[in-house]
């Protein structure tokens, strides 16, 4: 973990550090020797970042561990060192955005910007055609299209806020929204590598909040009747996304950028299907645009 500017200490079983508050990133791999986190999180600084690697990872697991504000990263056990390195890189370098960091350098990324509902429909059609041309499995194609539809609708009509932080389309009938342009362009990126589909959607408002995520997902896992009746709006969309993807990464620069990155993977023999990684990273609020220099060109 060279990006954290310090070494790594490993503790197994009942062995614990003498000073927990000196750690910037704590990783807990749960299993027979460490079945729970009881009492351990409270020993860490409130500014520490915590990654948990449980034996099972789904939306309920995400909700359970994210009740503690220090827990923002969950990796299915046995944890993937590459995924953990990406998390440490982001936390240590401060450069958190970009689908490209999840891909090898030579991988070509498709990119487009859109502002209208018609452009959104075209982007979805292009994504489906791209996935079909790359001969991805039908399940991956269907899931990617469904997730892209949800992410783009949220970015175009849920994320926009005015100077007071009020949602611009809050009082506009959903059927009327689609006839209006989103105030700032939304971007979609996608690529294929090793039969995996990588997808990201960004908005330029940065109005998404960790508390919103936890609240939405908590409602969805505890109010099953409302889910079936489809009364949860954006919350239901986030639940469906988290229940569909294999990896979900959310990056946030409050007031400027929200980025959702998702991957869709073919099932592997002997490995469990479903979510393998969930990660939420946020910069501290900054006074105002322009956007941080680390963002690549193309906005």
Pairing of strands 196-203, 186-193: antiparallel
For the chain, what percentages of helix, strand and coil (3-state, to nearest 5) are there? 35, 20, 45
**More reliable by pLDDT, 19 or 85:** 85
**Model confidence at 296: pLDDT above 80:** no
Q: Which residues on adjacent β-strands are paired with residue 26?
A: 50
**Model confidence at 7: pLDDT above 80:** no
Residue with tokens 């970009």: 98
pLDDT value at position 252? 96
Distance, CA of 199 to CA of 127 (rounded, Å): 9
Give the class (CATH, top level) of 106-299: alpha beta
Q: Which range has the worst mean pLDDT, 32-36, 100-104, 115-119, 223-227?
A: 223-227
pLDDT value at position 74? 96
Domain with CATH 3.30.565.10 in the chain: 106-299
Contact residues for 60 (Cβ-Cβ < 8 A; gap 6+)? 221
**Model confidence at 251: pLDDT above 60:** yes
Average pLDDT (111-118) is: 96
Distance, CA of 48 to CA of 110 (rounded, Å): 36
**Based on the number of CB atoms within 10 Å of its own CB, is 62 exposed (0-12), middle (13-18) or buried (19 or more)?**
buried
Q: Per-residue pLDDT tens for 47-56?
A: 889 999 999 9
Model's pTM, two decimal places?
0.87
**Model confidence at 178: pLDDT above 60:** yes
pLDDT value at position 293? 45
* DSSP character string of 57-120: -SHHHHHHHTTSTTEEEEEPSSPPHHHHHHHHHHHHH-----GGGGS-TT---EEEEE-SHHHH
Q: What is the DSSP letter of 40?
A: T
Q: Per-residue pLDDT tens for 141-155?
A: 999 999 999 999 999
Q: Per-residue pLDDT tens for 130-141?
A: 999 999 999 999
pLDDT value at position 177? 86
Mean pLDDT of the chain: 85
Average pLDDT (231-248) is: 82
């Amino acid at each position: 973990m060279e990006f954290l500017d310090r070494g790594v200490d490993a503790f197994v079983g009942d062995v614990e550090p003498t000073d927990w508050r000196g750690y910037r990133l704590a990783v807990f791999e749960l299993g027979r020797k460490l079945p729970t986190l009881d009492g351990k999180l409270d020993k860490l600084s409130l500014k520490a970042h915590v990654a948990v690697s449980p034996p099972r990872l789904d939306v309920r697991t995400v909700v359970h561990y994210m009740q503690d504000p220090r827990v923002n990263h969950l990796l299915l056990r046995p944890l993937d060192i590459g995924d953990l390195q990406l998390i440490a890189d982001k936390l240590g370098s401060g450069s958190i955005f970009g689908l490209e960091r999840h891909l090898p350098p030579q991988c070509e990324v498709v990119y487009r910007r859109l502002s209208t509902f018609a452009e959104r429909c075209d982007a979805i059609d292009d994504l489906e055609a791209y996935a079909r041309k790359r001969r991805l499995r039908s399940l991956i194609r269907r899931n990617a299209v469904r997730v892209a539809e949800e992410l783009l609708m949220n970015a175009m009509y849920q994320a926009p806020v005015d100077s007071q932080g009020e949602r611009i389309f809050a009082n506009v009938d959903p059927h009327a929204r689609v006839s209006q342009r989103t105030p700032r362009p939304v971007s979609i990126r996608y690529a294929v590598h090793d039969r995996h589909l990588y997808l990201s959607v960004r908005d330029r408002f940065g109005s998404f909040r960790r508390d919103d995520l936890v609240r939405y997902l908590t409602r969805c896992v505890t109010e099953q009747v409302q889910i079936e009746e489809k009364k949860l709006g954006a919350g239901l969309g986030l639940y469906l996304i988290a229940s569909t993807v294999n990896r979900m990464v959310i990056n946030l620069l409050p007031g400027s950028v929200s980025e959702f990155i998702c991957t869709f993977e073919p099932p592997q023999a002997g490995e469990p299907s479903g979510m393998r990684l969930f990660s939420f990273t946020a910069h501290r609020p900054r006074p105002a645009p322009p956007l941080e220099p680390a963002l690549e060109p193309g906005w």
